[in-house]
């Protein structure tokens, strides 16, 4: 199932304020045919020790819940 990138961007826009409140952000890099979303964490999120938890327990959970076809999220 192809991921609707417009919906993906809208959901990411809803997640961004939480990241921005801590001085970080994320940028969509790519979505592959298997539904794996590649994100670049920026600002305070880049290199943060908790960024893996933010990615899996936060962003990935929300994207899987609201964007059909998303199977995983990874940082690049």
Which range of residues forms the domain containing residue 28? 5-75
Give the pLDDT confidence score for residue 48 in this predicted structure.
87
pTM across the whole model: 0.91
Domain count across the chain: 1
Phi-psi map region of 23: left, alpha, beta (phi>0 left; psi -120 to 50 alpha)? left
| Residue 17, domain CATH | 3.30.300.130
pLDDT in tens, 2-54: 899 999 999 999 999 999 999 999 999 999 999 999 999 999 998 888 888 88
CB-neighbour burial class of residue 76 (10 A; exposed 0-12, middle 13-18, buried 19+)? exposed
62: confidence class by pLDDT, cuts 50, 70, 90: very high
């Amino acid at each position: 199932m192809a991921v609707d990138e417009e919906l993906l961007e809208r959901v990411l826009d809803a997640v961004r304020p939480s990241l921005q409140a801590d001085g970080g952000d994320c940028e969509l890099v790519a979505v592959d045919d298997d539904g794996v979303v590649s994100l670049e964490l920026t600002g305070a999120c880049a290199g943060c020790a908790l960024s893996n938890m933010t990615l899996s327990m936060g962003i990935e959970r929300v994207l899987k819940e609201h964007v059909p076809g998303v199977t995983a999220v990874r940082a690049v």
